[in-house]
Each structure stands twice: as C-alpha cells, then as structure tokens.
Amino acid sequence: MNRIGILGGTFDPIHLGHLAPAQYAMDYLHLSRLILVPSATPVHRPRATRASADDRLAMCRLAAAALPGFEVSDLEVRRQEPSYTVLTLRHFAKTLPQGTDLVLLVGEDNLSTLHTWKEVQEILSLATVAILPRPGAESQDLSALTAAIGADQVATILARRVPSPLLPISATEIRSRLSRGESIEGLVPAPVSGYIAKHHLYG
C-alpha cells in the first residue's frame, strides 16, 4: 500500500520534538513517505510566526534531507489564501497516485480543537488521522470533539496514537533560548541550528 503521512505546522523552527515522533510514525504506521508541510498563514495563529515562510521552508528542507522517506512540500507557502488543512488534503488526494492512503499526523495538543478545523468531516474522509504525542496533552478535555464527530470516531483516532517518547521541546522554548543567547544544541538538527545562526533568526 502507498501510504503517505502529512505533517503540517508553523515549524518556527522545526525541532526534534517534531521530527522524532514523525520518525516513529514512519515505522508504526508503515508510511511510504512523510511530507512536511510548513504553513504560510496559520489560520488559528495568523501572527504567531517569527521567521518568514521562506526561512521556515528552508529549515524544514535541511531537516528532511537527513531523514530517509522525508520530504517537504511548499504547497501552503505558495498558497495565497489561509492554510486550511482540508485544502492541502484535497490537493494531495488529487495529485498523488490513485489508491494512495493519506495519513494526517496531528499533534496530541491539537486534538481537543480538531472539530473547529474547516470542513473537519471532509478531513476525516480524505485522510486517516493519527496522533503524535505531545507533553502536557494527556489530560485535555475531548468532550466538544466527541459531541462534534462522535465517540466512535474519537476512539478510532485515539487508537492511532503513535507510541513515541515524549520530548519536552517546544519552538517557544527554542526561540526564548536563542533570544537569551543560549545554546540550542540537541534541540534542533545541526543543519537547522547552522541556518538559524547564519541568518540571525530569533536573536
């Protein structure tokens, strides 16, 4: 089966907290490829990004270059309208070979608001949703999601939680460390760290 994972986000910057669970997902979900999709204009956080879309795209490409099966799409960076996940999934459903199984990887901390995403029912019809663990997301309230999509659907999504270690790394922490002139060694891939230093990002 041609099973393609889709992982979107601001990636501001991309870090090992994104990449390690995604690597586990490759094996656990039997993915043929995993496509990182950095967003240009995040709908829920339109002013949240510190680095430009081009810089975030470049950092994703540097991170993916060392990971077998990983690649990067500039689809949302090139898109003029807001980056709705359903539009991205429609694109891949139309352009990837017929019979491709799309797997949408969602951070566990976003699960409680999944029902607020544009055309969530179409998202669920276009892709299998799998969960990537995130620190602090274990006790979130899923009652609104359950009311919107049903208890069976929620249970099915939760059953696809990728069993990867919880890494206490966040882009906010990395940006804060950089603003204080502290090291981010071990938090991001070395090529990403070099890019941040070369282009004086987050300082």
**What letters, b where the CB count within 10 A reaches 16 and e where it falls short, cover 140-163?**
eeeeebeeebeeebbeebeebebe
Kindly indicate the confidence band of residue 70, based on its pLDDT and cuts at 50, 70 and 90.
Answer: very high
Query: ∠ CA 37-39-41 to the nearest 5 degrees?
Result: 165
* pLDDT at residue 136 tops 80: no
Name the CATH topology of 3-167: Rossmann fold (3.40.50)
pLDDT tens digits for range 33-62: 999 999 986 666 555 678 999 999 999 999
Kindly indicate the confidence band of residue 158, based on its pLDDT and cuts at 50, 70 and 90.
Answer: very high
The answer to whether 138 and 191 have CB atoms below 8 angstroms apart is no
- The mean per-residue pLDDT over the stretch 71-100 comes to 93
Kindly indicate the confidence band of residue 138, based on its pLDDT and cuts at 50, 70 and 90.
Answer: confident
Q: What is the pTM of this model?
A: 0.94
Query: Residue 43: its pLDDT value, please?
Result: 64
Domain range annotation of the chain: 3-167
Query: Rounded distance, CA 134 to CA 105, Å?
Result: 12
Best CA proximity match to 28, nearest among 165, 179, 139? 165
Kindly indicate the confidence band of residue 72, based on its pLDDT and cuts at 50, 70 and 90.
Answer: very high
Best CA proximity match to 11, nearest among 107, 113, 139? 107
- The mean per-residue pLDDT over the stretch 23-30 comes to 97
The answer to whether 21 and 168 have CB atoms below 8 angstroms apart is no
Query: Rounded distance, CA 59 to CA 54, Å?
Result: 9
